[in-house]
Amino acid sequence: MNQAFQSVMKENPFVEFDCIVIGAGPAGFAASVEAARSGLSVLLIEQLGFPGGIASASLCPHIMGYTEAGKQLVKGIADEFARSLDRIGCAAFNRGDEYEMPIGDKPLTTSVITTKPAVQYTMNAMLDAAKVKTLYYTSLIAVERDGNRIAAVYVNCREGIIRIPARVFIDATGDAHLVHRAGGETREHDPEESMTKTLLMHVNGVKDFKRSETKTRFRELSKQGLVPVAGQDNFMGFSIPMHPGETHLNFTMTAGNAVTSAACTEMDKELRRQAFDGIAWFKKNFKGFESAYLADIADMIGIRAARNIVGKATVTEKAILADEAVTEPVVNSKCYYGDHYSKSFSASWAKTGGVRAVPFGAMLPVTLSNVIAAGRNISSEPRVITTFRLMATCMGLGQAAGITAAYAVEKIVNANEVPYSAVSAAFREKGVLYHD
């Protein structure tokens, strides 16, 4: 450690934790809650000032992944989260032109629309109730290894840099930042195959929004080559039923290498330009948008895929197309991919429909014996990440990671060597592995 680094080191105010979770998106949130409920001392570290990840910072309060063909695919903490949102009047079923709220005790057979503040509030409430120690405004900067284990992480807090040790770590960063910083094996994805990057936005002042009518008009303009964003040929948007006149738009798109700050900076600037130009275009071309104005825009780019771990198992397109059996299933997921392609919405290799389980080994790094991955950075080929990247699925993966971490600590075994047979019953009992 160099002298400059040492000069800003601060004494660690924390005891050693059983489990440290890096990243407070849907996966990290669920992992932390489950691990703490299972009896572990848990520290959740997040670079932003709030939880929610894509759902909040990237302005996507649209919780997808609960269902396929009218069947609920995941329960557990993902289901509990939706019910908690509903109790504060901030959950609605998305049924196209219609919305249903409250959701009550109905099965989650469609996606759930909520709001950014509700996501942040509800996740904080559930984390606090589980007695998770949360540390926001804190960035991971370095990792200390002891052989094939992570001994501690170095994080940059507002008061300086501190070293925090733990027995097991969960990488819920979305882009495998923990495993990458620790020198573990990762794979980076070609932007051509890893889906577009987006800045989502909310517009107010929209009157009598009908999704089906807007989608038809958008398709007509796309066929005429009149959509101002190259490659955007599919309308994506919905009303926020808790906020009359507010509409969520997924309109901007670009492609680039999202594992570098320089590329993310340039993509961010381009996407914000598209957002402002896009509002003017919607006002001119769509009924009901004449008085619309930009009310909110994502704080950070929505990254669908950029880098993930190399795991003991990998989600591959070949296995999906061959319908190979998943012998160690973790969570069931809607099986489609090829969306948000870099040149159009759908790629030529897109697949839709069906249900497929995520394999347990995809969460377990081939290196770093005391680390578990959760969320969209599990081991996968880039084309098929949509089979598990949706938020309800990521919460299921996070809960599974919390279950696995608790077993590893209790039995004093390496996290990436936990036998599936030891945790599979808990996956089912707690609603992670579910299909009604």
Provide mean pLDDT across the span 396-425: 98
Among left, alpha and beta (phi > 0; psi -120 to 50; other), residue 408 is alpha
Q: Among 269, 341, 262, 345, which residue's Cα sits nearest to residue 301?
A: 269
* Distance, CA of 60 to CA of 41 (rounded, Å): 30
Whether 206 and 312 map to the same domain: the answer is no
Residue entry with tokens 């796309």: 222
What range defines the domain where residue 223 resides?
A: 197-303
Whether 281 and 210 map to the same domain: the answer is yes
pLDDT higher than 90, residue 376: yes
Whether 220 and 160 map to the same domain: the answer is no
pTM: 0.96
Q: Look at residues 303, 322, 356 and tell me which one is the last residue of a structural domain.
A: 303
Provide mean pLDDT across the span 183-189: 95
Whether 186 and 208 map to the same domain: the answer is no
pLDDT higher than 60, residue 408: yes
pLDDT higher than 80, residue 129: yes
pLDDT of residue 292: 96
Question: For position 256, which CATH number holds?
Answer: 3.30.70
Indicate the pLDDT class of residue 96, thresholds 50, 70 and 90.
Answer: confident
Residue 319 to residues 260, 322, 331, 425: CA-CA distances in angstroms? 31, 5, 17, 25
359: which 2 tokens?
């394999």
196: which 2 tokens?
């577009």
* Distance, CA of 25 to CA of 274 (rounded, Å): 26
pLDDT higher than 90, residue 127: yes
pLDDT higher than 60, residue 436: no
- Bigger pLDDT: 127 vs 190: 127
Whether 313 and 331 map to the same domain: the answer is yes
Decide if 143 contacts 186 (C-beta within 8 A): no
pLDDT of residue 14: 77
Averaged pLDDT of the chain: 95
pLDDT of residue 13: 81
Whether 48 and 150 map to the same domain: the answer is yes
Residue entry with tokens 């738009």: 249
pLDDT of residue 16: 82
Indicate the pLDDT class of residue 188, thresholds 50, 70 and 90.
Answer: very high
HSE-up (13 A, CA, CB side) for residue 282: 32
Whether 319 and 283 map to the same domain: the answer is no
Least confident of 81-85, 89-93, 255-259, 367-371: 255-259
Burial readout 60-74 (b: 16 or more C-beta within 10 A, e: otherwise): bbbbbbbbbeebbbb
Whether 317 and 299 map to the same domain: the answer is no
Q: Is the peptide bond before 102 cis (omega within 30 degrees of 0)?
A: yes
Name the amino acid, one letter, at 54. Answer: I
Q: Among 119, 111, 299, 295, which residue's Cα sits nearest to residue 211?
A: 111
Among left, alpha and beta (phi > 0; psi -120 to 50; other), residue 33 is alpha
Decide if 330 contacts 400 (C-beta within 8 A): yes
pLDDT higher than 60, residue 337: yes
* Distance, CA of 236 to CA of 258 (rounded, Å): 22
Question: For position 109, which CATH number holds?
Answer: 3.50.50.60
Name the amino acid, one letter, at 287. Answer: K
Whether 108 and 8 map to the same domain: the answer is yes
Whether 77 and 160 map to the same domain: the answer is yes
Least confident of 4-8, 172-176, 202-206, 276-280: 4-8
Provide mean pLDDT across the span 318-347: 93
pLDDT higher than 90, residue 333: yes
pLDDT of residue 4: 60
Indicate the pLDDT class of residue 190, thresholds 50, 70 and 90.
Answer: confident
Indicate the pLDDT class of residue 2, thresholds 50, 70 and 90.
Answer: low
Residue 15 dihedral angles phi and psi, to the nearest 5°: -80, 170
Whether 16 and 152 map to the same domain: the answer is yes
Whether 298 and 421 map to the same domain: the answer is no
Q: Among 361, 383, 362, which residue's Cα sits nearest to residue 317?
A: 383
Q: How many domains does the chain have?
A: 2
pLDDT higher than 70, residue 5: no
Q: Which residues pair with 406 in a beta bridge?
A: none
